[in-house]
Amino acid sequence: MKFFKRHNNVLPGFGVTLGFTVFYLSIIVLIPLSALVFKTMGLTWGEFITTVTAPRVVASYKITFGAALVAALINSVFGVLVAWVLVRYNFPGRRIVDALIDLPFALPTAVAGITLATIYSPNGWVGRFLEPHGIKVAFTPLGIVLAMTFIGLPFVVRTVQPVVEEIETELEEAATCLGATRWQTLVRVIFPLLSPSILTGFALSFARGVGEYGSIIFIAGNMPMVSEITPLLIITKLEQFDYRGATAIACVMLLTSFTLLLAINLLQKWSRRHAE
C-alpha cells in the first residue's frame, strides 16, 4: 500500500489561487478595458476614423510616442552606465546615489513637472545658461523628452542592476587573458548577458513615458500641434464631455502600446535564446 504525504502549503490550492487571480485581474484590468472598448463602439466606423485621424490627434501621437521612444533610448544607454557604476565601483556617496535613483518613484509627478519647468525655464538655474545658445527646454518637445527621461530612468537601472551583480568578473578576466580588447569583451561577453534586461528596461521606460501625464503638462507648454501629448488631449475631450472621442483615442493608444510591447517582448525572448 502506498501512502501519499500531503504537503501543507502556505498558499491555498491551484483552483483557489487561479480563481482569485482571474477575479483580481478582471476587476483591475479586464473590466475597465472592456468598458473602454464598449464605450468606443458607440461610434460608427466613419466617426471613429475621423476622430482618431484628426490632424491635432495625429500630431499628439507623434509627440507622445516619439518623445517616449527617445527618452527610452536615452535611459537604455545611461541607465546601464549608472547600474554598472553602482555595482562595480565603491565611491563616497554611493548609497545616496543609489537611493536617489528611486526618487521618481516616490516623488509626485506634478512636483517633478513643476521642478523641471522651474529649473529649465529661461530664467531657471539651468535654463538661463542654455537660453543664450538657443537651446529651449521648458515648454517645448525637448521638455517632454526630459520629463519622460526623468521618470523612466529607474526602470532601466533597477532592471539591469541585478543582472550586473550576477556577472562574474572572471568572465572579463578570461576574455582579457585570451587577448580580447575592452570593446570585444563588452560586445561579445557583457552585452549578450545584459541585452534581455536592457530590452525589459527599455520596454518599461517606454510604456511609462507613453502613459505619463502629471510631470509633462507643467513643462510641455501644451500647445496643440507642437507640444500637446495624447493623454492631455484625452483629458481635454473629457472636459468637453466628448466621452466617445476620448475613449476612441484611448483605444488607439492602448492598441499601439500593446503592439509595441508585444514586439519588444518577442525581441527580448529571441535575445535571451541567442544569449543562451
Task: Summarize pLDDT for 49-107 with one digit per residue, the tens.
Answer: 999 999 999 999 999 999 999 999 999 999 999 999 999 888 898 899 998 998 888 88
Instruction: Please tell me the predicted confidence (pLDDT) of residue 43.
Output: 84
DSSP state of 132: G
Q: Is residue 252 assigned to a domain?
A: yes
Answer with the residue of higher pLDDT: 20 or 202: 202
CA angle (242, 246, 251) in 5-degree steps = 150
The pLDDT mean for the chain works out to 85
pLDDT > 70 fraction of the chain, expressed in percent and rounded: 92
Q: Is residue 36 assigned to a domain?
A: no
Q: Is residue 28 assigned to a domain?
A: no
Q: Is residue 145 assigned to a domain?
A: yes
Instruction: Please tell me the predicted confidence (pLDDT) of residue 84.
Output: 92
Region 187-200: mean pLDDT is 85
- Residues 60 and 248: their CA atoms lie apart, in Å, by 14
- Cell of residue 209, nine digits: 513615458
How many distinct structural domains can be found in the chain? Answer: 1
- Residues 259 and 265: their CA atoms lie apart, in Å, by 10
Question: What is the chain's alpha carbon radius of gyration, rounded to the nearest angstrom?
Answer: 23
Region 261-271: mean pLDDT is 76
Sign of the dihedral through C-alpha 155, 159, 165, 167: negative
Q: How far apart are the first and last CA of the chain?
A: 45
Look up the CATH number of the domain holding residue 225: 1.10.3720.10
DSSP helix, strand, coil percent of the chain (3-state; round to 5): 80, 0, 20
Answer with the residue of higher pLDDT: 102 or 276: 102
Instruction: Please tell me the predicted confidence (pLDDT) of residue 6.
Output: 52
Q: Is residue 33 assigned to a domain?
A: no
Q: Is residue 16 assigned to a domain?
A: no
CB count, 10 Å around CB of 264? 18
Provide the residue range defining the domain that includes 240.
45-275
Instruction: Please tell me the predicted confidence (pLDDT) of residue 276.
Output: 60
Q: Is residue 97 assigned to a domain?
A: yes
In 41-102, alpha helices (H): 45-52, 55-88, 94-100
Q: Is residue 11 assigned to a domain?
A: no
